[in-house]
Chains A and B, each alone.
Chain A
Amino acid sequence: MQLSAEEIIKLIVVGTVIFLIAPLFIVLYIRQYNQQKKRNIEEKKNMALQFDAELLRTQIEVQERTMQTIASDLHDNIGQLLSLTSLTLNSIDIGKDTKAAERLESSRELVKKSISELRGLAKLINGEQILEMGLGYAIQQEIDWLTKSERYTVFTENAILNEDPAHSKKDLILLRLLQEIINNILKHAEAKTLSFEVKIQNNDLLLFVKDDGKGFNIKEKPSGGMGISSMRRRAALIGADIRIDSEINVGTEIVITVQYP
């Protein structure tokens, strides 16, 4: 088939335009892709900054919480024990008192108990140091402290007690979330029984906290504390999911799920 000159001209012009449009699209696509990449890098940077800021805030909160625990332990527990020891020792009259030996023995027991309490307290002094023993251990310390108050019946299933420390940043935020849940229970729940369960299932860490308190309406914003939205935001930083079920006069159940480690 012989093409006419006019057809050849048309063919050349149309063909060349098409073959020029293709590289133009490639250049535009790369420009668009590069802009998207730039935005993603900026977002990542911002997220990293946010994460660091949130982590710092969490560290401070954990330290504050530890200081509160120390203060309340010193005041309510060790302080009382030492006052009682002082009283007992003051009441002893070595020459006259026939029960002196008995009272001395009692004082010795009180001092022993104080030392033991102080040792327990020393372990709490640095919240982050607890995490060096692993998240399971840190969680157990929080629950033990709660159990010791004897205000609640506490049930615990801690399946990660012997897990090695894995992810310090993730652990710190998880510990802080648990602390805040406990804090909310102490302040608002009016519960009698508390249940804690922590385990690892299919590379996910699951933390269940359940109380039989007065519950609350999830749709209404509860006042005080870290706040649910703030807890969710912080959980999102480590890719954790928080599920909260609460029923008025029945209690509240909170489940935190996060990929672990």
Chain B
Amino acid sequence: MITHIVEIICLVFAILFLRNEKRTFAKITIGYLIIVVVTELVASFYMRTYHKSNSWMYNLFIWFEAGYISYGFYAVLSPFTKRAKLYSLSAFGIFLVAYFVEMTQVGFFRLHSVTIAIFSVLFVVLSLQFFALLIKKEESFDITKYADFWWVAAVLFFYFGGTVYNIVLSYWINNKVGGLKILVYVMQFLNVVLYFVWSYSFLCSYRQKKLSS
């Protein structure tokens, strides 16, 4: 429930603050957040109504997730390096390979936890790459108004913070031990962090736009 609320709030923030942005990334962000909200609501409804696993929905959803985050890194890394496209496409390429390999091993209806763990690592590496390039830059920046910085920070918090979650999730799927409830809480907490920081990032983007206009 908490996850749904923060996701909807984040979508509202995105629509409010990004709707007039000309940047393609802003438009894609709104689209992606709509997909997030719809997926979460449908998945939740499906599980409650039919009492069946909704993992296959998330297996579909991670296509959008991996695609959006990869494109996001292309957008935020572009001002710093010419290799932004290469990094972004490589991350998405590795995701595709991992996805299809896992599909052949576990099928479509079981959650692709290894693929999720792999792209989590990739996104952590890309986040660190962004911060390294930011530090190298000669000019300073206003951290309170730097939308890209907070977008990447949110990604880093979510995927790096979710490392233990991903490991335990794989372990849980294989062994069916206790402790699933705590995993739900951890994911809820990580989602709150991700969507809260992203919302702040959209606000920064709006402020930036207002300042420059």
Contact = CB atoms under 8 A, between A and B. Distances in A.
Classify the secondary structure of B's interface with A: helix
B140 A12 contact: no
B134 interface: yes
A8 interface: yes
A30 B131 contact: yes
Contacts of B58: none
Contacts of B67: none
Interface stretch (B28-36, B43-51, B156-164): B156-164
A130 to B, nearest CB: 37
Given A12-B168, A34-B141, A23 B161 contact: yes
Contacts of B179: 5, 8-9, 12
B120 to A, nearest CB: 11
Q: Is the interface of A mostly helix, strand, loop or mixed?
A: helix
Interface residues of B, number: 29
Given A12-B183, A33-B135, A34-B140, A22 B160 contact: yes
A12 B143 contact: no
Contacts of A8: 168, 177-179, 182
A98 to B, nearest CB: 84
A187 interface: no
Interface stretch (A13-21, A106-114, A226-234): A13-21
A19 B160 contact: yes
B161 A20 contact: yes
Given A5-B178, A12-B182, A27-B153, 19 more contacts: A3-B177, A4-B178, A8-B168, A8-B179, A11-B164, A12-B164, A12-B165, A12-B179, A13-B182, A16-B164, A16-B190, A19-B163, A20-B157, A23-B157, A30-B134, A31-B143, A38-B140, A41-B139, A41-B140
Interface of B: 127-128, 131, 134-135, 139-141, 143, 149, 153, 156-157, 160-165, 168, 177-179, 182-183, 186, 189-190, 193
